[in-house]
Amino acid sequence: MSGRSLRAVVLVPGDAGDALRAALAGCGVAVVAGADDVPGAEAAHAAEPLDLVLVGGADLLAAARSALLADRLWAVALDLPPALELLVAPPPSLVRAASVARWVLTPDETTRGLLDSAVPDAARRSAVLPVTGRPEALAAALGVLLDRTFPDHPALAGRATPLRVVVAGHALHFLEAVLQDWRSQPGIELRVDEVRSFAQHDEAASRELIAWADTIVCEWASPVAAFYSRNKRPGQRLVVRLHRGELDSDWWRGIDAAALDQVVTVSRYYADRTRQVTGWPADRITVIPNYVDRAVLARPKLPGAELALGLVGAVPRRKRLDLALDVVEQLRARDSRFTLFVKTRHAWEVPYVWREEAERAAYEEALHRVRSGRLLADGVVFDAYGGDVGSWLRKIGWVLSTSDDESFHLAPAEGMASGAVPVIRSWPGADTIYDPTWICPSTAAMVDRIAETVAGDGWTRLGRQAEEEAAASFDTAAVLERFAAVLVGDLPPVR
């Protein structure tokens, strides 16, 4: 359980509310009495900050509209309509709440899947909390969720005043869980400079943030990061998180290397590339991997998952949809039950891809091959692109990574967290992220690995092994701990 002293308000009617109050108390959370509606919860928060507000029923819409409660709202889905109605017309109050809630809590996995499909905002923040089930099951599920939401960070312990942190950059979605964590930490005061583009920002506003901050974290090694590096105060800490794209551009060149306290990359391979391309000091370059959220992804598999292959993202063509088709075609030649599910935007939905003749031709050729191929015509399914990856992975037993190159490729890690087995082509740097167990030198080796494992009833064992590796290497808690540590001190450089 989290070592923090947490305070909660429960605005959930009936027996479900009573069960939640009892479970929270059993988890060591102080449940504030007397806050019986949203204004009461706001007053309680104003008197002493709350950490979570569980709301269901008639108060849900008012809570969703409350600016004070937004970051701490846990929306409890109660009294839902029948499945088909829920899928087609979810309650407006729940839709609104999902757009701001920290968690959307459902009574069971079926309801969770329906909400993931019907309410896109719920997809990456839904969890099962059996409020009408056995008290011990509710307490256990609640304890897991509290630990996930309120991790302890030793690096921030014992501070007399909160650390003032600025996060600056464009496209901050890669840091979503990190920002959520920092907003919830009493040892951090967070402000965000979310800029218009890689190179455009309000310099006056950024200067005010520089004057305020103890630590600055720049997402992307961009001209915005260059501005912060040239204008930071002496003794102020600057951390820059670098992705693959910057190394193929000139964005990083304006950064004052002497001002960098730490450069964060996602793998040892990209740490080495960063050193080689930029010439920045090796002792300032470290690795924090991308994270996967087991609270969202670890769900029961559906029957037949061991025969289902998944590919997340099929454009641009370096994702090599053609090789994924090779794999499923050869598998179906042995066993026609194998199916490839492709969760992707289509090429014509990505403007920069569709403008390229070679990209259009590759995608059209793949679609023609699926339509006309004897073994592929009923063996490939294109699923809608979206955030409902947790629900989608329930039917997937194998996650393919057939790319020519990747900076990290999150899909195999997400699959592993769900209990699916990764099958990874040996793209550059794959072995610095994933165990060699999962890496195959060719599509033929991929086919043999999958077919032989299924025939030998080894899929369940490999799925458990993959899940354990994901927990050890990519789980949110471990990654958040490293991000908290880098705010106040240097992580070890890559050796």
Residue-level pLDDT at 70: 85
| pLDDT for res 3 | 64
Percentage of the chain surpassing pLDDT 90?
Answer: 92
Sort 34 into a burial class: Cβ within 10 Å, 0-12 / 13-18 / 19+: exposed
Band of residue 378 on the pLDDT scale cut at 50, 70, 90: very high
Give the integer Cα–Cα distance in Å for 401 and 411.
8
Q: What is the pLDDT of residue 451?
A: 98
Let me know: does 407 contact 244? Beta carbons within 8 Å.
Answer: yes
Q: Which two tokens stand for residue 345?
A: 């935007």
pLDDT band for 4, please (50, 70, 90 cuts).
confident
Phi and psi at 130, nearest 5°, equal -75, 75
* Mean predicted confidence (pLDDT) in 337-344: 98
Q: Are residues 163 and 144 in the same domain?
A: no
β 30-31/7-11 pair status = parallel
Strand partners, 303: none
- Which run of H or of E encompasses 139? helix 135-149
Mean pLDDT of 26-45: 95
Distance from the Cα of residue 51 to its chain's centroid: 22
**Which helix H or strand E contains 339, and what residues bound it?**
strand 339-343
> Higher model confidence: residue 68 or residue 488?
488
* Number of domain units in the chain: 3
Within a domain: 81:
yes
Q: Helix or strand or coil: residue 192?
A: strand
333: domain CATH number is 3.40.50.2000
Average pLDDT over residues 36-57: 96
Q: In whole angstroms, how far apart are CA 189 and each of 98, 152, 180, 273, 418?
A: 25, 16, 12, 33, 33
Q: Give the residues across from 401 on adjacent strands.
A: 424
Residue 83 contacts residue 110 (beta carbons within 8 Å): yes
Label residue 2 by pLDDT band (50, 70, 90).
low
Residues 127-173: tens digit of each pLDDT: 999 998 899 999 999 999 999 999 999 999 888 999 999 999 999 99
Assigned token pair, 230 = 């040239």
User: Does residue 134 fall inside a structural domain?
Assistant: yes
* pLDDT, tens digit, 9 for 90 and up, residues 204-231: 999 999 999 999 999 999 999 999 999 9
Residue 2 lies in a domain: no
Give this prediction's pTM.
0.93
Distance CA 24, CA 415 (A): 31
Taking all residues of the chain, what is their mean pLDDT, rounded to a whole number? 95
**Both 303 and 346 in a single domain?**
yes
Residues 264 and 339 both lie in one domain: no
Domain with 211 in it: 158-291+476-486
At position 469, the amino acid (one-letter code) is E
